[in-house]
Amino acid sequence: MTRRAVAIDVIRIPTNGPGDVSGLMALIDEGKIAPASILAVLGKTEGNGGVNDFTREYAVAALREALAPHLKVAPRAVEERIAFVMSGGTEGVLSPHLTIFARRPSAGVATNGGGAKRLSVGIAHSRDFLPEEIGRRPQIEETVKAVRQAMADAAIDDPNDVHFVQVKCPLLTSERVEAAQRRGQKTVTTSGYASMGYSRGASALGVALALGEVDADIDDSQVLKDWNAYSSVASCSAGIELMHNVVIVMGNSALATSGLVIGHAVMRDALDLSAVLEALKHVGLGLADARMNQRLVNIFAKAEAAPDGAVRGFRHTMLDDSDVGSTRHARAAVGGLIGGLAGTGAVYVSGGAEHQGPPGGGPVAVIARV
């Protein structure tokens, strides 16, 4: 079987605010990005990352409005063609930015099982969820379907070639909880903030199930309970701006001819420098390369406050701080660690790693130029 090869371009663009699309528009005007080639946009915005973080919705709205004329569709229809994932929270040295993933046909032809594997990216959307489905088996099952669809879109057949799966998932609001109650249904929680963890957790278990990392009989009772069940590549971010899951699969494929490659490792805790170095090594980078050369494209990671209240035997206070949420502490800590290695704060670090790596840890992935 012969299929046309594709090439992936990945461009990181700094932003001056959640509605700033000037950097992307400049690249389009200069002919450096073809709007029709844009497959996904993964961004960090400077909100609080909580239920009321509307910087994510603002950023998506700005991108829709800016891209719609170029794509000759209505703004709302832009989301049918491009996967938008905005993660709120740029605490510490983290810097707001967008990572643009563009896909174009390659001049070459690749065959199954052929040549060196290069970066490939695929996207998919689940159906909309009812409020009572969030954090439960239906969300897990629909995520499984979406991940497999995105793998097919990326021409990735082997789960071992998947190195990062970014999911944007919904959360519960008081209105959504009340809507379920009026229909005689009970949601997994009535807390909007707590629902973010349930949604991220169920989505991550869906990724794990799709990739064969957990047994098929996983059920509701394991969400936020069975911490031995997790995905080593899932990164899930909950937001108020949608009611379905958006999935971006990143991996390496023999059917991709881009000059980029992706690799990953699993951080065991927020201090796991060795895991970040291992991820860099997987794409042929050493510490000096990451800081000094132009080969590093971006680093993506999940951050989590250790649920037992300690990191390597020493007590931390992230879970007890009444002023600053634990996910914000975790983003700042891991962002500083990774930013120090990368030499920039414009790295993607998302908080809340329920079932995304082992408790207190999370996946870290690196995209680099070959």
Query: Residue 231: CB partners within 8 Å, gap ≥ 6?
Result: 165, 204, 205, 207, 208, 211, 213, 214, 355, 356, 357, 363
Spot the catalytic one: 87, 203, 237, 253. Answer: 237
Q: Specify whether the CB–CB gap between 358 and 272 falls below 8 A.
A: no
Residue where the block lists tokens 């594997």: 117
237 noted as active-site residue: yes
Whole-number Cα distances in Å, 227 to 314, 354, 365:
21, 8, 21
Q: Cα separation of 163 and 363, whole Å?
A: 9
Q: Which amino acid is at 298?
A: N
Q: Specify whether the CB–CB gap between 163 and 252 falls below 8 A.
A: yes
The beta strands (E) that lie in the chain are given as 2-14, 38-45, 83-88, 97-111, 118-125, 162-170, 234-239, 246-253, 260-267, 296-303, 310-311, 314-315, 348-351, 362-369
Q: Distance from first CA to last CA of the chain, Å, rounded?
A: 27
Q: Cα separation of 61 and 151, whole Å?
A: 27
168 noted as active-site residue: yes
Q: Cα separation of 59 and 46, whole Å?
A: 10
Spot the catalytic one: 44, 117, 168, 302. Answer: 168
Q: Specify whether the CB–CB gap between 256 and 370 falls below 8 A.
A: no
Q: Specify whether the CB–CB gap between 119 and 261 falls below 8 A.
A: yes
Closest CA to 70 of 59, 81, 84, 55: 81
User: What is the set of active-site residues?
Assistant: 168, 237
